[in-house]
């Protein structure tokens, strides 16, 4: 099969088209003939040597794919949706997505949502698994003590994660605020369902969110920045507020007012999805198909694909991602 490999750590040009054997399936896995693969920030980090491959995973980049199941055992509890040979699926994988064929745990394969293309479906798994796990499971976005819908602040609202979090939060009835790097991007966040897009280069997200919530603050922050954003996010939180950290684009160290955490009963949590077990990811998959996939069919949320590239131009896809000019997802096609 054709595949895109990282020939050495470095700039996008280290991504090269190569020939590899098709993956050998492990128990519980199926083989997917890949039509499209999502490009994600962890792929870039892996390319530059800052995101180690988990033991036993493919060294090829790519954490999400869409295509057709062509091989594998499809019996048992890991197949609650009745997938078959020939079924169109999208899947979350530990690696190997930048290839014509990809092995995926059956439990992490989801039927393509009604009405979506494979390119659109390939843009979903990494972001929606991450958003559901962190915003709704870990940070418990739900109802306040008085029964009102809680509020959500999304940092990096035009990233793949950001557009998914904005749409999902808004579709489920929550007030959503989002930061972005320009007025144009802030308006794009609002078009996706954010009540207010905040240009972090010209506005203070703490002051804006406080003003919009009558000085109460937000209940949950989805943070992919870290660094000096964290103490400011603490200031932006309401009592009993939660911060879910999923990336550290702004650095891995921060100084926090621990007294504020104690007085206001705040929670700071973080997680990475890639090394988690198949059973953990399977539980998220079931929640997505039950609670999120119907929102696609109803037109309440939609994939946001900014641009596609032929797989052999993966270097150009990575170069675009590093500019941070995109709104939504970048996808490779075979």
- The 10s digit of each residue's pLDDT in 292-323 is 999 999 999 999 999 999 999 999 999 999 99
* Cβ count near 144 (within 10 Å): 14
The number of angstroms, rounded, from the C-alpha of 271 to the middle of its chain's C-alpha atoms is 12
Q: Can you tell me which residue has the tokens 């702004």?
A: 250
Q: Where in the chain is the domain with CATH 3.90.180.10?
A: 2-125+274-333
Residues recorded for the chain: 334
Beta pairing class for 196-199 and 237-245: unpaired
Beta pairing class for 29-39 and 101-105: antiparallel
Q: 3-class DSSP state for residue 16?
A: strand
What per-residue confidence (pLDDT) applies to 77?
82
222 - beta bridge partners? 154, 244
**Tokens of residue 67, six digits:** 């295509």
Contacts of 142 by beta carbon, 8 Å cutoff, 6+ apart: 136, 149, 150
pTM for the model stands at 0.95
136 - beta bridge partners? none
Question: Measured in Å, how far apart are the chain's first and last C-alpha atoms?
Answer: 11
Q: CA 133, CA 244: separation in Å to the nearest integer?
A: 10
Q: CA 306, CA 62: separation in Å to the nearest integer?
A: 18
115: left (phi over 0), alpha (psi -120 to 50) or beta: left
Return phi, psi of residue 120, to 5°.
-65, -40
What per-residue confidence (pLDDT) applies to 307?
98
CATH for 139-270, options being 1.10.3720.10, 3.40.50.620, 3.40.50.2300, 3.40.50.720: 3.40.50.720
Q: Can you tell me which residue has the tokens 């895109």?
A: 4
Q: Where in the chain is the domain with CATH 3.40.50.720?
A: 139-270
Sheet of strand 267-270: strand arrangement? 196-199, 175-180, 151-154, 218-223, 237-245, 267-270
What per-residue confidence (pLDDT) applies to 76?
80
Which overall architecture, per CATH, does domain 2-125+274-333 show? Answer: Alpha-Beta Complex (3.90)
Beta pairing class for 196-199 and 218-223: unpaired
Angstrom distances, CA of residue 79 to CA of 28, 35, 129, 223, 238 = 10, 21, 18, 33, 41
State which residues of the chain have pLDDT below 50. none
Q: CA 234, CA 162: separation in Å to the nearest integer?
A: 20
Residue 91: which H helix or E strand, with range? Answer: strand 88-92
What per-residue confidence (pLDDT) applies to 75?
84
On average, the pLDDT of the chain sits at 96
């Amino acid at each position: 099969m054709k595949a895109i490999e990282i020939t050495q750590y470095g700039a996008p040009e280290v991504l090269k088209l190569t020939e590899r054997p098709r993956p050998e399936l492990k128990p519980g896995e199926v083989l997917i003939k890949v039509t499209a693969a999502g490009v994600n920030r962890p792929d870039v980090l892996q390319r530059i040597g800052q995101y180690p491959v988990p033991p036993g995973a493919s060294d090829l980049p790519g954490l999400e794919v869409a295509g057709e199941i062509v091989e594998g055992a499809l019996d048992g509890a890991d197949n609650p949706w009745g997938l078959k040979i020939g079924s169109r699926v999208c899947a979350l994988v530990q690696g190997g997505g930048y290839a014509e064929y990809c092995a995926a745990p059956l439990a992490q394969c989801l039927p393509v949502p009604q009405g979506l293309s494979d390119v659109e479906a390939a843009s979903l798994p990494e972001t929606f698994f991450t958003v559901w796990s962190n915003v709704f499971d870990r940070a418990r976005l739900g109802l306040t003590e008085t029964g009102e819908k809680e509020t959500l602040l999304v940092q990096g609202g035009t990233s793949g994660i950001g557009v998914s979090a904005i749409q999902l939060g808004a579709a489920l009835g929550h007030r959503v605020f989002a930061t972005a790097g320009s007025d144009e991007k802030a308006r794009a966040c609002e078009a996706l369902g954010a009540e207010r897009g905040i240009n972090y280069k010209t506005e203070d997200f703490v002051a804006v969110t406080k003003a919009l919530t009558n000085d109460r603050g937000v209940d949950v922050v989805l943070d992919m920045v870290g660094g000096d954003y964290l103490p400011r996010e603490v200031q932006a939180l309401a009592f009993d507020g939660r911060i879910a950290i999923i990336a550290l684009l702004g650095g891995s160290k921060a100084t926090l007012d621990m007294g504020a955490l104690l007085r206001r009963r705040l929670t700071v949590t973080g997680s990475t999805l890639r090394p988690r077990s198949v059973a953990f990811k399977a539980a998220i998959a079931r929640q997505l198909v039950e609670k999120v996939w119907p929102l696609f069919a109803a037109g309440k949320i939609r994939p946001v694909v900014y641009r596609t590239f032929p797989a052999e131009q993966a270097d150009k896809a990575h170069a675009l991602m590093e500019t941070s000019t995109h709104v939504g997802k970048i996808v490779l096609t075979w």
